[in-house]
Structure 1
């Protein structure tokens, strides 16, 4: 499929989705959100794709925020719909994606950009990366899950400070806060992400999908994560991957998971 604001590349079962609006520092607009949704929806049903890496074009920005020019004159009703549609189409869609999603943060990740990175299953940052949620400096709050996911990752106090101050933190501080998993040189960012992806993909992707559902359940209101874990654990016993994994272990050989 041809896109105007993103590019995609599949290699070794890894889909790299790159937000490609360099003149806007890869800011998210409605069209970009829709294109990312369409690309992810296609990848969800593509057996060739086992893992997704999200990154930005160039060396300055992952995503420098939302495209403010699109919603500067919105009414309260329109603003509410903007947040709800964006969360459904992209941010929650990424968070609950059945295949691993890694955010490779190659520069500024601000506002909606940091919210997109936080929706991914984990994050790797280049040393020049800077992150923050500056929305209150515009008279609004984060609307794509930022007030929910940031406290889950860094704790309530740090999230309150970051959001209230509208300030940025650098990659090393993000690592200290547990906002990112790794920090690497910018020129090594994608190679590191792909190397880590390779380690993940050696395992049962069926089991990994189940683990994503179980982990996410812990953060869903009214859902007992332990019960979801028990359910997913039990379901695993009926999969071909479980049969292959246990057989390989007992016979002291490398598992060749069928993905079923």
Structure 2
């Protein structure tokens, strides 16, 4: 077996760190010195800088706020020429979204931002085309936004979501964590999911919650009552007390329906007698 190069080893360490419970990170003293400073700190409720200006895949400059308003937004920071980890994140996002029966562009938007200010709209356009095709639901890519930006605007967005990276000048690569952020239509940070795989059920619940239950179904709202988001793990787990309450309400409702049906049958028999 070939030895792992330092770049690949660093990427694997960061992928492992991002998948661990907690803040999507490990202690600095457990990482190689070159990776210290890499972080993805949860800032639930933080306001994204909606006036920050980014360039879309067509070369048009637009404020971040133009991608917000009617729907929740899935946000992730990557760089398009990343040799491994960013591709794994984007692949994981698309794989999960394919299993969620909420459509990008109608129920929510996806905003992908390159944190490498040297990258171009042409790179963004190529990534957008590839991932819209991989999503496989047709259309013209409405709701998918692959952006680039200058250092100042990227730094504002990264600071708002707690995302920090380290540039390795010798290798011309970035060390960074992996994960995605869900934001409300108003641009407030709602949920974090760390790692490179995102359970479809959790992602769906997160989107419904970020929307204020304006998307999804009654079943989703019941699930949100019975499940709660754990910031320590970035996952939804059973809220035992709420589940018991919901079960009790369901039992009472079923019992009431049974009694009502029995009374109606008795009245029908009496009317025929």
One fold, TM greater than 0.5? no
Q: Which structure's CA Rg is the greater one?
A: 2
Q: Which is richer in helix?
A: 1
TM-score by length of 2: 0.28
More relative contact order, 1 or 2 (CA 8 Å, 6+ apart): 2
